Chains A and B, each alone.
Chain A
Amino acid sequence: MAAVTALSETPAAASAGRPSGMQTRRRRRLNVFRYLVFTVFGLFFVLPLLAMARFSLEGAKLGTWSLSAWRQIASFQGIGVPPLLSAIEITLELAAITCVVTLVLLVPTMIWIRLRVQWLARTVEFLCLLPLTIPAIVLVVGLGSIYNRIQHYELSALMLFWVYVILALPYAYRALAAGLNAIDVTTLSEAARSLGASWFTVIVRVIAPNMRQAILNALILTASLVLGEFTIAYLLLYDNLQVELYSISRSTPNAGVIFSTSFAALLFAFVLLLILSYAGRLRRGRG
């Protein structure tokens, strides 16, 4: 059963061999627009980051430079506080598990609803918005009783993934929905079914590959959510990356440490997500 490839082509490839004039003018206007947009938005995003970085390199007196805030991340030896590396490890594992469970839970369900159970669409949409409407501090009160029971088995912080999937639902749902709406699911599935495919094949080998960008974006959103999640881990007294970084920053009077830890976390997440975005390319090669 051949995977049906994406139907939209790159603008660059498409415009090769086209009549010039209107196309090249439009392309030129588009490029100007793109560079303008990238510059303006780039500035907007970079300035606060620069301010943070500058402050993290601040010395004891304003105006001097010092690497001490960064060195303190590496050298932190807390009392009874787990080292940074184990927090990183746990968070990475959590990210992986959460991504997998979210996708496995959402993608088939959304496709299935689109195809066969349309009347549930609005309900699922609302449910996937609900986690955002309840602040974490309140959710923890409700979750407390469940987690109390889980904690009796002394499982590790990996148990947080149950909640993280719920937190990721709104973002993953929207990203997947945008991709799902852009393809003609009904036609694709009917074509595949008439050729004898099982529902599993339809979902996994026909429709999902057409949602590649959407799935990738959902993965990026989920991963970055787990990497950046602080409140629930903090309130349930688990030690993930952000909680650990926060502890480091609170255990020293050097105000710059909270910024060096924050910036380090951002860089770390950025590199990871960049690597993740290459995963999309690998799959394309094999298809």
Chain B
Amino acid sequence: MNALVAAAKKEGTLNVIALPPTWANYGAILSAFTAKYGIKINSANPTGTSQQEVDAVKTENGTAKAPDVLDIGMAVALANTNLFAPYEVSTWSSIPTAQKAPNGIWVQDYGGYMAVGYSSKFGTITSLNQLLGPQFKNAVALNGNPTSANAGLNGVMMANLAEGGTADNIADGVSFFSKLKAAGNFSPISATGATIKAGTTPVVFNWDYLNLPSYVGVSNWKVFIPSNVALGGYYAQAINKNAPDPAAARLWEEFLYSQAASGGQNLWLEGGARPVEQAAMQSNGSINTAAASKLPAVTVTPTFLSPTQATDAANYLAANWAKAIG
């Protein structure tokens, strides 16, 4: 580890990409890393998507600006493993087997459960079917188009599971949104902080760490997860095979997966995201209990979409979404 720190400091910089400061507390994580090791971080394209991250690796290949590490969605990670270098962090054993590649080519880092955020002017929402009521006219929005955005697809899948569907078939979710549209409650607008603040999209399906009042920027914002569903989605870390700063890249991962009080895992927790080592940290007591208790309560076993289930859902949506809400 000391050798790694020395090598990383010698490199002096780290290139990251698509890490918005307000997303899962990345702002604090980036400053904490620089404060601890004195390594300058070049944060490119904070608003990029997972695909753009991978594209940047390919376009910038061989230059000093190429991203060293990636934080990407699982679908994109699995499709591009030929770009990554394997690496197992020192806390490897604390990570559940299902959430890492056996050879270390990718490893999940944090995630959350799909939730519904809403303005407190609606009172308290406890079930999805309430959203079909007349007071929600033009109010319900997704985070992105389900046929291209991961958060959008999982929003529909969450409705699907809540309505009694299975992870293998997203048809019930699509029909729920069809009903929403028929009732005049579905809004085609992309929900952003601005539309939420202006009151144009007072109900938003989004990951719970993106539905925090502090992220959304509106104080009267509440979150609920349907009691019979916990649809989880985790992101994955990967190291660029041709990283310009390979030691810094590995040190960054060590920092992210460290269970220290001010290490990456706890910092993500403070950002409302669930760190991948959460279970292990709860057993060995290193978890920040105050932050952990702020997460929305989840009573059922979490469901995670397998790659095949995700692809089937995507294909079904590509064929049927436009028709359902058109």
Judge A-B direct contact (beta carbons within 8 Å). Answer: yes
Interface residues of A (CB under 8 A from B): 55, 58, 60-62, 78-81, 144, 147-148, 151-152, 154, 234-237, 246-247, 250-256, 258-259
Residues in A with CB closer than 8 Å to B55 are 144
In the complex, how many angstroms separate the beta carbon of B36 from the nearest chain A beta carbon? 13
Q: Which residue of B is nearest A151, CB measured?
A: B63
A148 to B196 CA separation, bound complex (whole angstroms): 39
Given known A-B contacts A237-B56, A251-B27, A253-B216, A148 and B63 have beta carbons under 8 A apart = yes
Check A252 against B22 for contact (C-beta < 8 Å).
Answer: yes
In the complex, how many angstroms separate the beta carbon of A11 from the nearest chain B beta carbon? 46
Q: Which residue of A is nearest B56, CB measured?
A: A237
User: Which of B16, B30, B45 neighbours the largest number of chain A CB atoms within 10 Å of its CB?
Assistant: B45
Interface size counted on chain B using CB atoms at 8 A: 40
Contact with A along B306-322 (1 / 0, CB 8 A): 00000000000000000
Interface residues of B (CB under 8 A from A): 16-17, 20-22, 27, 30-31, 34, 40-47, 52, 55-56, 58-65, 192-194, 196-199, 214-217, 219
Check B22 against A154 for contact (C-beta < 8 Å).
Answer: no
Residues in B with CB closer than 8 Å to A61 are 219
Given known A-B contacts A62-B197, A152-B62, A251 and B217 have beta carbons under 8 A apart = no
Check B214 against A253 for contact (C-beta < 8 Å).
Answer: yes
The count of A-to-B residue pairs whose CB atoms sit within 8 angstroms is 86
Residues in A with CB closer than 8 Å to B61 are 148
A246 to B45 CA separation, bound complex (whole angstroms): 9
Check A58 against B43 for contact (C-beta < 8 Å).
Answer: no
Residues in B with CB closer than 8 Å to A236 are 59
Check B198 against A62 for contact (C-beta < 8 Å).
Answer: yes
Apart from the given pairs A80-B43, A148-B60, A148-B62, 13 other A-B contacts in the complex at a CB distance below 8 Å:
A62-B197, A78-B21, A79-B34, A80-B16, A147-B59, A148-B63, A152-B62, A154-B64, A237-B65, A251-B22, A251-B27, A255-B192, A259-B194
Residues in B with CB closer than 8 Å to A148 are 59-63
A246 to B31 CA separation, bound complex (whole angstroms): 20
Residues in A with CB closer than 8 Å to B215 are 253
Partner of A79, one of B27, B47, B63, B198: B27
Given known A-B contacts A80-B42, A152-B62, A255 and B193 have beta carbons under 8 A apart = yes
In the complex, how many angstroms separate the beta carbon of A145 from the nearest chain B beta carbon? 8
A237 to B61 CA separation, bound complex (whole angstroms): 13
Partner of B198, one of A55, A151, A251, A254: A55
A114 to B40 CA separation, bound complex (whole angstroms): 55
